[in-house]
Structure 1
C-alpha cells in the first residue's frame, strides 16, 4: 500500500441531513478484497431519501432510516482496480488496471433467496452506501469478495459508465413486463429510471413506446431515447389519446417510474383488461388505489421490480456502444466537496438536471 496516499477524502454519514466530508484512512484490502480508485458515482433519488431519513417517507417508524452512522454513501459507481491479491483478482476475474462497476447489492450467498438464485432479494440485503458496506462517495473504496463486479470499457467517460447501475435497474423493470411485438407500452416518468425503461423497451421492439412526463424538456430527451410518442398530462388527456391509439382498449403495458402516488391510479386506468403493470419506484408516502380495478374490472398482472439482476451485461453493452444520448442524460457533475450541491440538484424538481454524478477527481 506504500504507493497510495495514507488518507483520502470521503463523505461520511453521521445522521439524517448530517453528511460530512472528512479525511479518513485509505482502506487496506484484505486477502480476499480489492481496492478501487473511484472514478465517478451517480447520485440516486434513494440517496436523497437516505439523506433526509427514510422514516420520514415510509410512514412506518419501525423501518430503518437507512442512514448508518460511519458509512460512506454512493452505489452507482465505476472505478479502477488499483490493488488486490492474486486470489481476490481471480475471484472477480479482473486484473489491476481494469475498470469495473459493481451491483448495488452485496448478497450473502447463504439465505434462501441467494440459495434459490434470487440474489437481488437477499435476506440480509447489505448494500453499498446504505448498509454494512462503504459506498463510492470517496476517493477509494473496498470491493468485498461477495460483490458482483462487471468490467466496463475505459473509452467510456466515467460519469457515463456509472449510469450502468440505474440502466440495469430499468432493464430489469422492462424484463418483468414480458414485452411482445404487439404491445403498446407506456412509461410514466422520464427521469433516469424512466429514460432507461424507454431505452430497454425500445430494444424489445414493441408496437409503440409512449413516454409520459410533465416536463417537456425531459419528453424531448425521451424521444432521443427512442420513444415513439411523448405526452404531457398537463397539456393533453392521456387517457383519451391512448384509447384512441388502441381502438378504445388501452395500453398493454404500463411501467411506473415516477414515484408519485397519482401515477399508480393513472396506470391502472390506462391499461386494457388483462394488461401488465410494472412498479419500479420507491414512494415518499403511502399510496392507495381502487383494487377492484386490478381484480374484478380488468384482471391485471401487477409486478414489482427491484435492482437490476442479470441485466448488467446488457446495460454495459448499450453504454459502450455509444448509441445512447448520455451527454444529455448525465447532465451535472460535482466534486466530492460539493456533495450538498449534488443532493440539492437531485431534489430540485424544477431544475434541468437528469442524472447527477460526483467525480472525486474533479
Structure 2
C-alpha cells in the first residue's frame, strides 16, 4: 500500500463522555527521536468502553485522567511510516518495521521511572487518554514519543495476534503477580479478553487445578479449550461448593479478579483460603466495597494489584511467535473507523469478546 502523502488523516476523537466523533485531523509529524506509525489495528479495551460511558475514574475530580479532545486507543500495533532525526538509532527501527509501543509513555524523571518501575510512572501518560502527550491508535497514523518503549513484532505474527499483544502482556504480568505454584488451585474470575489471555498464560504454569468463572457459557467453553480444568457459571453453579470440593474445604490458593464488577471482589474474598493470594487487575467503573476484616482478621490474605504489562511485551511476542498463545476465538469482530460507533456498542456487550478497529490507510 502506498504511503499517505497528504497532511490529514481519519481518526476517532474523544471530546467527552459519549461524545466521540470521526474526524479528519492533521497527520502527526515525527520530531527528533520520534516515530510515526501506520496503524495496523487497534483493539477496544474495557477501559475504553468505561471511558466512553463516563466512568468517574476517567472524568471525575479536579484533575481528570482524560485530557480531551484526544484520539483513544492503547491496544495498537503498526508499521513505521516516518522517522524523526535520530529516531532509527534511538528505537533501533527503520521505516517499514512492524512495531508496538507499550501502553504507558514513561516520563523517565520520577522516582519510579528512575528505579526501573516505569509502569508506575508518577506522571502516568497512557496512549489514548492525554492529548498531545500520547494520543492513541484509533486513527490511521499515530506519533510515538521519544520516551515510549517500542518492540519489534515478527512478520510471522498475525494481525489478530499482533493486536492482542498488549492484553497478553498485561495477562502475563497479572499471572506472575499471583506467583502460581504447581500445587495451587487457581481461580480466574472473568473470561473476557484479559481473562482468556490469563487462562492461556496460567495453563503454561501448570497449576494443580485451573478454574474459570464467568456468566457466559461460550466464553467458558473457550476457557476449557485454552486449558481450564473446571469452569463455573455462577448463574446456575454453586462456586463455593465446587471450589471447596477441589480443596478439601479450604478454598483456592490464588484468586485473580478480572471481571471489573464488585461481585467479582466479594466472591473472591469468599472463595479464597486463609493466607491465599488475591490479585486484582480490573478497572472498575465505580467504587467497590468489601468487608476488609476478611483480608486481615479472618484470612490474613496477600492482596496484590496488577497494572499494565511491564517487561512482558517481549515475552508475549515470543509466546505468539511460538504458537503457545493465540488470539483465535478471542478476536471476534473487526470494523473500519467509519463504523466505530457500532464497534464500541458491540465491545461493550457480551455479544463480543475482542473488537478491533482496522483503519484503511491511504
Q: Using structure 1 for the length normalisation, give the TM-score.
A: 0.95
SS where residue 327 of structure 1 aligns?
Answer: coil
| CA distance in structure 2 between the partners assigned to 1:135 and 1:154 by the alignment | 23
The residue number in structure 1 matching 2:112 is 113
CA contact (8 A) 2:243 2:252 kept: yes
Q: Deviations over 1:86-109 (max 9, x none)?
A: 621111111211111111100000
CA contact (8 A) 2:201 2:325 kept: no
CA contact (8 A) 1:74 1:136 kept: yes
| CA distance in structure 1 between the partners assigned to 2:323 and 2:177 by the alignment | 26
The residue number in structure 2 matching 1:139 is 140
| CA distance in structure 1 between the partners assigned to 2:129 and 2:60 by the alignment | 18
SS where residue 50 of structure 2 aligns?
Answer: helix
Q: After superposing the two structures, state which structure 1 stretch, 174-183 or 4-13, moved more.
A: 4-13
| CA distance in structure 2 between the partners assigned to 1:270 and 1:312 by the alignment | 31
The aligned runs of 1:32-111 (5 Å cut-off) are 32-55=33-56, 61-62=60-61, 64-85=63-84, 87-111=86-110
The aligned runs of 1:69-218 (5 Å cut-off) are 69-85=68-84, 87-131=86-130, 132-218=133-219
SS where residue 130 of structure 1 aligns?
Answer: coil
| CA distance in structure 1 between the partners assigned to 2:164 and 2:349 by the alignment | 20
CA contact (8 A) 1:102 1:147 kept: yes
| CA distance in structure 2 between the partners assigned to 1:321 and 1:179 by the alignment | 22
Q: Deviations over 1:330-354 (max 9, x none)?
A: 00101011111111011123x2x11
The aligned runs of 1:293-304 (5 Å cut-off) are 293-304=294-305
The residue number in structure 2 matching 1:233 is 234
Count residues in correspondence: 357
Q: Using structure 2 for the length normalisation, give the TM-score.
A: 0.95
Which runs of 5 or more structure 1 residues have no equivalent in the other structure? none
The aligned runs of 1:319-334 (5 Å cut-off) are 319-334=320-335
Q: Give the drift of 1:67.
A: 3.6
| CA distance in structure 2 between the partners assigned to 1:157 and 1:234 by the alignment | 36
The residue number in structure 1 matching 2:280 is 279
RMSD: 1.7
Which runs of 5 or more structure 2 residues have no equivalent in the other structure? none
| CA distance in structure 1 between the partners assigned to 2:329 and 2:181 by the alignment | 29
CA contact (8 A) 2:161 2:326 kept: no
CA contact (8 A) 1:14 1:67 kept: no
